[in-house]
Amino acid sequence: MTIPAGSRTAGSSAVERAYAHVADAIISGELAASTLITEGDVAASLALSRTPVREAFLALESAGLLRLFPKKGAVVTAVDDTETTELLQVRILLETKAVQLLGERPTHIDAVDAELRVLIQKQTDAASAGDLLAYARADHRFHSRVVDETHNSVIDEIYSRLGPRLERLVHRVAARDPDSIDRLIAEHRLLADHLRVGDTAAYDQALRAHLESGHRLPRTL
């Protein structure tokens, strides 16, 4: 996993290593909400100095996965229904706008569709292997690839920063209800079908149903 835009610094390989180590543990649930972690513990486990870990912690706070407490450490953030709903509302707004814009560039649709089919296969392969972290990443990349079609650098930066939190939501759904994975992948195929024919209204409706059922939310999206 890459560090969100704006968080790279000199010596970023060590920062990225620390970031990925902690982010993976949070997204997968290995580090549960409200868990306290320290720079020293992470630095020791990775054989790093505290400086790159400190920078990684700052990036993780910016991504919404940690809350820092000076001289004490960092606490893994919790995810409640309100935050889940708000994150998914942002996803819907950006995705449906991206599909609309892509419909105005019909010559690009085949290439985007091909990429989405590859990502769906990656989801399928990860699910078959029982790798829920890889599944969550491929799921998020599917939606992120659609959002890329806004061709808006500000939106790209915002969505990149939201990425780890959205991946955590997807992983939570997959871990809570593994039997739903095949259905959710099939719904991605349906979304890709709507995108391919430029049906923005059908995409919007299918996306809302996909997110509401997957995250067990009331029809508020």
Tell me, yes or no, whether 100 and 66 share the same domain.
no
Q: Where are the alpha helices (DSSP H) in 63-131?
A: 81-103, 109-129
* Whole-number percent of the chain with pLDDT over 70: 92
Q: How confident is the model at residue 5 (pLDDT cuts 50, 70, 90)?
A: very low
Q: Please check whether residue 146 is in contact with residue 113, taking contact to mean a CB–CB distance below 8 angstroms.
A: no
Residue 192: name the closest of 118, 113, 139, 124 by CA. Answer: 113
Q: Supply the CATH number for residue 41's domain.
A: 1.10.10.10
Q: What is the pLDDT of residue 9?
A: 45
Tell me, yes or no, whether 111 and 196 share the same domain.
yes
Tell me, yes or no, whether 130 and 58 share the same domain.
no
d(CA 107, CA 92): 24
Give how many domains the chain has, as a whole number.
2
Q: What is the pLDDT of residue 1?
A: 42
* Tokens read off for 162: 């939201």
Residue 10 has pLDDT above 60, yes or no: no
d(CA 88, CA 83): 9
Answer yes or no: is 219 within a domain: no
Q: What is the pLDDT of residue 184?
A: 96
Q: What is the pLDDT of residue 217?
A: 63
Tell me, yes or no, whether 66 and 167 share the same domain.
no
Answer yes or no: is 6 within a domain: no
Where is the domain boundary, 56, 76, 96? Answer: 76
Q: Please check whether residue 50 is in contact with residue 39, taking contact to mean a CB–CB distance below 8 angstroms.
A: yes
Residue 64: name the closest of 46, 44, 83 by CA. Answer: 83
* Tokens read off for 133: 């972290």
Residue 19 has pLDDT above 60, yes or no: yes
**Is this structure's pTM higher than 0.75?**
yes
* Tokens read off for 25: 């543990």
Give the domain extent around 138.
81-214
Contacts 24+ apart (CB under 8 A), 195-199: 195/99, 195/102, 195/109, 195/112, 195/113, 195/116, 195/146, 196/109, 196/110, 196/113, 198/99, 198/102, 198/103, 198/106, 198/109
Tell me, yes or no, whether 167 and 86 share the same domain.
yes
Which tens digits make up the pLDDT trace of 91-129? 999 999 999 999 999 999 999 999 999 999 999 999 999
E strands, the chain, in order: 36-37, 66-69, 73-76
Mean pLDDT across the chain: 91
Answer yes or no: is 129 within a domain: yes
Q: What is the pLDDT of residue 94?
A: 94
